[in-house]
Chain A
Amino acid sequence: MLNNKIKFSLGIITLVLTLMVSSCEDVLDKEPITELTSEQAFENEESYEQFMAKIYGGLAINGQDLDDADIQGIDGHFSNYVRLYYNLQELSTDEAIIAWNDGTIHDLHNQVWTPANEFIAAMYYRIYFQIGLVNQFLRETTDDQLNSRGVDDALKAKIAEFRAEARFMRALSYWHGIDFFGAIPFVTEDDVVGNFFPEQKSRTEVFNFIESELKEIEPQLKAPRGNELGRADKGAAWMLLAKLYINAEVYTNTDRYADAMTYINNVIGGGYSLGPEYNYLFLADNESNGSQNETIFSVRFDGINITGWGGTTYITHAAVGGTMDPNIFGIDGGWGGLRTTSTFVEKFGADVDALNSGLGNQSDWGLVGSATINGWDSPDMEMYETSTDNYALYADLVAGEIKFRFNEDWGVNYGDDGLDGTLDAGGANIPVAEDGVYFITMDLGSLTYTISPFSGDKREMFHTDGQSLEIENPFDFSQGYAITKWRNVDVNGNRGVDGSGTFCDIDFPVFRLADAYLMYAEVFLRGGGGDAGTAVGYINMIRERSYGNTGGNINPGALTEEFILAERSRELYWESHRRTDLIRFNQFSENGVWPWKGGIIQGQTTSDIRDLYPIPAADIIANPNLTQNAGY
């Protein structure tokens, strides 16, 4: 009886346990519901284009939803590529300073950043996120993969284009990588995704990789302006090569200016033309208002479809505060952050000197009078001899009167009786109606003169009401002139597509023709070839757009490295070129002073270790193959 009980009991238990053990283990093989496995993802033919959109969009958007973030360890909207690129390229220079308390952001302008700086880290990881995306795309689109998925020839052709463009995007991010960090970890599609330690390659090795990649994909890319707006073409690859070569001395200690000239010329011959107005380049409709003809490569934004608090939404909002009217900027309200330093403001003041230096030799003829800098006392404002008996001067005058005199003495002087444009010896004072810069000429041959208001540089876009020029407290938005360059309105002043004014439409120009023109002049000066006439011609094309006339044109004599650096700043400020430019001209760390550089109000020079950002502490810890940049 007992035996039966045991048998019965154990029999049932064995049965139940066997059933449960044997039938269940496959219940642990779950499949994602919202996310897609790679097999599921690429069943859909559009996935390849969607992946490509992510690679390009990685520069514009923060994640897979407004509040999602591709990069962790920092606020999602801070980790936007364009926003970080702007911060690292601009906040560290004289062009921009910020009022906020976000983490270590002030260390950028103060040039006291450390390897723990989260903005530097976020840029670094954003670069590697892009590189990772491209590598994964290349792994997912090998011939074997495509064949195994039965992809047809038409789609294969399209994917081949995508692969070339993906490699361009990887080259672009690797360029940013060596520009910021020097020797960096190197991975390609041949590596597998995991938790390994990538090797650190020297700046030169990565430089060589970028160069060879760009040259290899060049034939596969579409002709300049031949691709859809927002996608890379040959022009973009040429411009990137030109950028690489013009900075080659910094990156590899070997100059490559002749190579730079080759690709600059390719770009200039690529069918681009300057946009109609300088300020149109930075408006909500800059993809259609004519500015697009100048665009070589841009990051696209849209207030409804490409949103986030990075990109041009950031640059536009952060620059508005104080007495600025947000409506004029097409936004819901300013964030009161970004301004500029007096050093940058003076770039436009110093302009008069640059213009004058291009006129000819200084003469003994000068301006005197209540409108001049010293009133009726000497020294006079000396004019330049442009040719025999012809003198000219750009002069910053106040309302009042002037006369011409020789050698700071009333012995020989001219005025104008009856204001008929003819010079009269010892004649009546010539009135100057209002303050401003004037272009003044004097012809002693015909005894005539002209005095015309100088139209001014339309690139000088400051908001000064309620703003002081100098900055005592970097945290106070009202200190430092505000900049009104980026506005989320179209050419008619209408707000962008997001009616709430939250997100901006302005496409961010990564490369544009005016930059190529300036590079031509610079490479010419640096001995990379070309000729002076062409160089000055290109500069004057830019300046004619800026001045609205030829009044700002320069002569070949004005073409100096100093002028080029200043002109690049005037033309390209707040477009994320400044740090790289300053380093190329050796003005970023050991030379060059601007307010709050080095963390003190009047500014000071810093160590040249600052020419490279440190590799983030987190990666030094995570990857034993890495050596930190010297000095950090």
Chain B
Amino acid sequence: MKQIRQLVLGILFLIPLVMSAQDIIKGKVIDATGMELPGVSVVVKGTDKGTATDFDGKFELSIDDANAIITFSFIGYEQQEVAASAEMNIVMEESSESLDEVIIIGYGQTTKKDATGSVEKVSVEEFNGGAILSPEQLIAGKTAGVNVIPASGKPGSTGTIKIRGGNSSLSANNNPLVVIDGVPMDQEDDNAPGLSTVNPNDIESFVILKDASATAIYGSRASAGVILITTKTGHRNAPLRAEFNSYLSVGNRENQVDVLNAEQFAAAVQSTGIDSAISLLGSDNTNWQDEIYRTAYGTDNNLTLTQGFENSSFRASLGYTYQEGLVKTDDFKRKSGSLNYRHRLFDDTFKIDFNIRGTVSENNNADDGARGNALTMDPTQPVYSGSTLYGGYWEWLDADGTPNAQSPNNPVGVLNQNNSFGSTERYIGNLKLDYDFPLEGLKANLNLGFDYGETNGYWDVPATSASGFDEKGTSGTWNNLRRSTLADFYVNYVHEFEQPHKIDIMLGTSYQDFYRENQTYQISGLGAVRETEFATTNSLLSYFTRLNYAYDNRYLVTFTYRRDGSSRFSPENRWGNFFSGAVAWSIADEDFLRDSQTISTLKLRIGYGETGQQEIGSDFGYLPVYTPGQNNVRYQFGNRFINTLRPEGYDSEIKWEESATSNIGIDYGFLNDRITGSLEYYIRKTTDVLSTVSPPAGSNLSNSLFTNIGDLENSGIEFSVNADIFQKENFVWNVNFNATYLQNEITKLNAVEDPESPGLAVGGIRGGVGNNIQTQQVGQAQFSYLVYKQVYDSDGNPLQGVYEDLNGDGQWTDLDKRIYKNPNPDYLLGLSSYMNYKNWDLNFVLRASLGNYTYNNIASSEGNSTSLHFNGTNRNIHDSYLDTGFGEVQLWSDYYIQDASFLKMDNAVLGYNFNELKDGEVILRIYTSVQNAFTVTDYEGLDPEISGGIDNNFYPRPRTFLLGFNINF
């Protein structure tokens, strides 16, 4: 078996394996408490021969030289070198402190012990399990101050990551900066920039930089926090290993949107007394949501190969994912591959690290409108009409038999008739060169990276469909391209003077260039062609430095400075300077605590830093530019159609948005760090906030200018605790709990301060065009709802159109709207539990969000009887109508602002490990999990967790069960 394995793998990689007569050594590795240690690297010193311990800490290795020295190494433990013997029992000593674990920070690394800023690392061992398609899900609920809002149910979509509320800016872009292996992703990309294209299986760790003293090294892009992702690599002197994991999943809807059923609908239409509406009632009983949703199957498969040699190592992986959407015809395929290669030269003084990863994703996109149509389609009508017209689907028709253009189309027809397909290729790569100078402690690092993404798609609506009827069918293509290139160079000098002084200086420069373009093309069956094209570019040039000073490892000081130049600003405002400073005091290392058995870690950290924001939407917002018009918006002089040319508004004075964050934190550890955690308070003041405002009329060429408009304040308290509750030989139970309290307030807006102003309207809703439900107003939290105060009758039922006359002018006008609640949570809680009993393991994650409110836009726009009949057609309505009895739509009633606090179990995983297969040569793990296990909430809509707080066309998240295995050989 072993030979077959080597043969297979050998052929696979064309690596000749030399077999010879050998001695066999065996053994077991345990830690000081007697626990078996799996995964310990066991290598014959000076060769590339080696293995790793199995789950029982056992290993077996053949050696050529009976006098060989065997090296045992494992993260967090002291490396040991022991002479080979047939039966080896090794006890690994924990390294002086587990806090020595290396944490990658911007342009360098530190250890937990030396960190002065708020830095959290989540490693592969702590990742969430289950059917995870998008990497941010790996860390949901794991860290205080980091809110991962899961992706919608649409396969291939990514969630949203908000670090410390993510409300550093009023502008749309509050995405953290994501840096993958040292390559910063384009923050404009999507909610979780770049993550959609990384196979979660390739990720080794996330490091989250929260406070400004940690993030300031990324200067102008760091206001919303920084996430550093390190991907997995091979290790030196390790034998060829293969790992294959695979799962099958099945997902279902948790619930459905509450619209009227056929019987309720018929009764509601009857009660309107409108004869023309009553005469349209059908006799069927169709649940349109059941018709468009399905059980969604998925599978994910990954093969990884790693091998280490004396001076080099590689890791290669291949992945294939297929996931169906809950909505029929929706699916997502992803093929991914990655290669990491490391090489060391010149006595390890020169290191080459090469990473490349590519993904090809293909989406069949179900029409987004179908979900909404399924809510408003008349439940008394059938799916199929029995005629051959319009694909055989039942549709609302005008008197002349043609489709009614203003009514919802049959959602089943829309799904089956409309096609939309997109394929995305994304490649991210970098080459990192590290050189240790002859001068001890002096290093240089050059990192060259690129990020290339291209999406090509096409769609068509056939002429035979009801929705394509008027235009005799339409079809089109879209293409997007994004690329960025990066060059970083820094030098680092570490010097330990005579005790107790130690310094660490880093000095570097970076250049990153971004380019993006998109094109669309559309043609209708009538021959109408529509084309658009856009391309733009920007770049960033930076210089940065960091100075660390440690006195006796008890007193730590960090200072950073970054100077960023962005092409998005005029030469006068182009450069921004971002400073930070932090001090830390390791109290536990003071004499009075050094010998404490109870308090093993106690560190106080105080930091201050400045960061910026340059995602201002436009690349040339400071320049007067002209935009040519498309052919469908020309103007006619005589008989000539003339294309137009529009001057754009601009603000030549636009400058950096700057945030200043102060942070104070305590890291603690009790009982030899069996219980660890931290408590932090931060306050972040953002000045010159960039946002879109109306400049004084007449002063500019547009009524909407992206400019510096005011100030914001965010603050919060974060608490976390990790506890190894049980650490017995057969039973381990580890729990992590974290809690975050956060709040934000707009402290200044516009040139003139006026708290009476209605603020800047934001938050578009459905039910009429151009309606907004939220506002940005001084003294209020961002995205607060601006609504009327509903008046209720004595039975507690809302009275239609009766609102409190809050301004007392005797009229009901929009001046009676008032700020009421907001979608931002007050508290975020996370609880992760990991349990291991013999070969079994069970882990789960619970997440709670308290104080966040959601606007139930489906109820508000559809929950009224006027919506039952429109333009000669009937439409279904939301069943809140049964409670409210509203005849007319009441979009701005606070009745629809609902408490969306929730407790969710994101996932639970149960696994069993077969460690004894082939004497531990093969490790097999079988597991099952449930995702979206349950949600506890008072919210009446489909899902309380809706990014932005407006619930209208939400793609439901499935509850997914899966069965998977992982084999390592």
Chain A residues with CB under 8 Å of chain B are: 2, 5-6, 8-9, 12-13, 16-17, 20-21, 24-25, 27-30, 32-38, 40-41, 47, 49-54, 56-57, 60-66, 68, 70-75, 77-78, 100-104, 107, 112-114, 116-118, 124-125, 128-129, 131-133, 136, 185-187, 191, 193-198, 228-231, 300, 302, 304-308, 321-323, 325-327, 332-336, 466, 473, 475-477, 498-502, 599, 617-619, 621-625
Contacts and interface: CB of A to CB of B under 8 A. Distances in A.
Nearest to B637: A228
Contacts of A191: 698-699
Given A27-B539, A477-B871, A129 B632 contact: no
Contact of B701 (A32, A132, A231): A132
A109 to B, nearest CB: 13
Given A28-B566, A187-B698, A322-B871, A306 B703 contact: no
Contact of A336 (B400, B640, B870): B870
B698 A622 contact: no
Contact of B400 (A68, A197, A327): A327
B530 A66 contact: yes
Contacts of A64: 627-630, 633, 644, 646
A36 B628 contact: yes
Interface string B842-883: 000000000000000000000000100011100000000000
Interface stretch (B64-72, B372-380, B434-442): B434-442
B768 interface: yes
19 contacts: A36-B645, A38-B624, A68-B633, A72-B694, A72-B704, A103-B770, A112-B811, A197-B696, A198-B698, A304-B632, A305-B632, A305-B641, A306-B636, A307-B633, A476-B866, A500-B472, A599-B811, A622-B695, A623-B696
Contact of A61 (B517, B635, B638, B707): B635
B769 A622 contact: no
Contacts of A8: 437-439
B761 A194 contact: no
Contacts of A9: 437-439, 442
Interface string B427-447: 000000000011100101000
Top 6 nearest A-B pairs (CB, nearest first) are A333-B405, A72-B704, A57-B635, A75-B770, A228-B638, A101-B768
Interface stretch (B183-191, B303-311, B648-656): B648-656
Nearest to A125: B703
B538 interface: yes
B480 interface: no
A575 B468 CA distance: 33
B633 A304 contact: no
B638 A335 contact: no
B773 to A, nearest CB: 11
Interface stretch (B93-101, B126-134, B751-759): B751-759
Given A32-B536, A117-B814, A187-B699, A325 B643 contact: no
Nearest to B510: A20
A41 B626 contact: yes
Contacts of A332: 405, 470
Nearest to B533: A34
Interface residues of B, number: 115
Interface string B765-792: 0011111100000000000000000000
B651 to A, nearest CB: 6
Interface of B: 276, 398-400, 404-406, 437-439, 442, 444, 470-472, 489, 491, 507, 509, 511, 513, 517, 524, 526, 528, 530, 532-539, 541, 543, 565-567, 571, 574, 619-620, 623-653, 692-705, 707, 750-752, 754, 757-758, 761, 767-772, 811-815, 866, 870-872, 887-889, 891
A207 to B, nearest CB: 17
Contacts of A61: 629, 633, 635, 644
Given A28-B566, A195-B695, A73 B635 contact: no
Given A9-B437, A466-B276, A198 B696 contact: yes
A24 B513 CA distance: 12
B787 to A, nearest CB: 14
A77 B694 CA distance: 19
A102 B769 contact: yes
B642 A50 contact: yes
B543 to A, nearest CB: 7
A71 B630 contact: no
Contact of B623 (A5, A37, A501, A622): A37
Contact of B702 (A72, A78, A619, A622): A72
Contact of A230 (B517, B637, B648): B637
Contacts of B704: 71-73
Contacts of A74: 770
B707 A102 contact: no
A502 B628 contact: no
Given A64-B628, A136-B701, A195-B651, A325 B400 contact: yes
Contact of A54 (B625, B637, B644): B644
A563 B636 CA distance: 38
Given A124-B697, A198-B697, A112 B813 contact: yes
Nearest to B522: A66
A17 B637 contact: no
B484 to A, nearest CB: 13
Given A33-B537, A54-B644, A73 B437 contact: no
B814 A114 contact: yes
A306 B496 CA distance: 73
Nearest to A198: B698
A56 B635 contact: yes
- Residue in A35, A326, A332, A501 whose Cβ sees the most chain B Cβ within 10 Å: A35
B520 to A, nearest CB: 10
A104 B811 CA distance: 14
Given A17-B489, A198-B698, A300-B636, 18 more contacts: A12-B444, A24-B509, A35-B648, A51-B644, A64-B627, A64-B646, A75-B770, A78-B769, A78-B770, A100-B768, A100-B769, A118-B761, A231-B637, A326-B405, A336-B871, A475-B888, A500-B528, A622-B752
- Residue in A25, A61, A100, A231 whose Cβ sees the most chain B Cβ within 10 Å: A61
Given A25-B541, A103-B768, A65 B633 contact: yes
Contacts of A621: 750, 752, 754, 757
A28 B637 contact: no
B697 A51 contact: no
A136 B772 CA distance: 32
- Residue in A63, A228, A333, A473 whose Cβ sees the most chain B Cβ within 10 Å: A333
Contacts of B815: 114, 116
Contacts of B534: 34
Contacts of B699: 187, 191, 193-198, 623
Contacts of A63: 629, 633, 646
Contacts of B761: 73, 118
Nearest to B889: A101
A107 B526 contact: no
A477 B573 CA distance: 55
Contacts of B754: 621
A38 B625 CA distance: 6
B698 A65 contact: no
B701 A53 contact: no
A623 B647 contact: no
A323 B651 CA distance: 51
A323 B404 CA distance: 12
Contacts of A34: 533-536, 627
B872 A30 contact: no
- Residue in B643, B645, B695, B889 whose Cβ sees the most chain A Cβ within 10 Å: B645
Contacts of B644: 50-51, 53-54, 57, 61, 64
A24 to B, nearest CB: 5
Contacts of A129: 701-703
B871 A32 contact: no
Contact of A53 (B444, B643, B702): B643
A622 B759 CA distance: 11
